[in-house]
Structure 1
């Protein structure tokens, strides 16, 4: 990625902070409540999940989804998966993001401004910066908890060598499509905004990869590894989608970029587990692909 794009993303946090101080300067006799505003779980209490889509019957009633159809809108994603990732289970993707998705930049502004009004936060206090950091951490934590990963039901097969090698082959094919497909659309002359739009568009590639990975057969011994892979792909979907909010919610875009960078260690650990299992079970996968992954994340 060009240096100018890296610099641009680096300033997203500064933009969000600048927005906060812009509000400070405009304060004049107005009051603001100081309440910890987190993303709330609006779903009713648990009940029976008749169609195994991650939503109970009572929750299906709340969302007006079909309790006998795990994918009400027919877009390839279970109703429960769509709800926890902030998507409308009644509207097929890709333009199905729920309208009430929280604006993290506005949240931190409201909390900080309210804190100053209530004197809980004082700009001249030596702990002011750390207090702002604590508020930010709470908001980020609430955001990612609201995007919690629900394990889909996967089809398990026996641990024969043939099944394991077929699993590795199919997984490699899905990951190849995920990694290579976007490159055709990225021009060397693209502007900063165009790069961000293209990066945000990768969410659809990750959604497709998640769907394919969730539907494939998995050997018993690879179940935990497969769920770890699904978790990484799901987080990537949320993060790349959040990148597209850099104009309306720069703070969300910034923390998404940070999480993308932090996932590097998770990917390395996953590849380490895969290599260990390949060696342990004397498997012969697509050597070129897995060697490439080892080089990229060594």
Structure 2
């Protein structure tokens, strides 16, 4: 029987490495053995799976998976193991820490409701983002950003200055190590070059069910058509205007008694909800792209 010498410090179980809660998301061509291989890899590294979701798309032939796992293995160890496994399944994957705040830049114009909602949810409701700056093409919301202690950057945009403004924006994205850009009712169209430079990293909120009621005064258009439902669409931004992969949509029922002002007020609440869900799901790595569509593991 092994004994402990008096001059040795008592064994302290707390000195063993604390497990990290990881989130792994992946996609690859669908075939047998993917779940077994991934689960086996995680088990070999002392992983305890706490959440697992998967989906095989019969149309695209692709398989999607999101796993949360607690493991004392280091990022380097898990990364090396995943890099070794990935070629076998032609797998694209991403590994991150559960709940790590995603560095986020919010672009705004004059409407405050979406920005205020994101800032409040970040502070009070655990929205897993770190809003590192607010960019406005007007200065109307500078005070709101200041109230929450977030730097405000005024970047006016005109037809003559658009290219320079977008160059400044890209520089800011690099300087602040931004991972996600949110267009919170930013009333400017991003150029094709900017969309490509930030592909998969820009979420927009559109004040209708795309592709309905594009352009100016969408609620007035909806009112004129006598719609019974108004909605909002959160989507990834691509070079095709308002055609990017849809992440979330929400709806509010209306009737003939509602004025345009009523519909705007109700619509703003729908916009807040849809955008907040899309940002949360992106930050929690619950969204995987499937061509022009999204897979959202809620």
Higher helix share: 1
Bigger relative contact order (CA 8 A; separation at least 6): 1
With normalisation by structure 2, the TM-score equals 0.26
Q: Which has the larger radius of gyration?
A: 2
Q: Give the number of the structure whose residues are more often strand, by fraction.
A: 2
Q: TM-score, normalised by structure 1?
A: 0.26
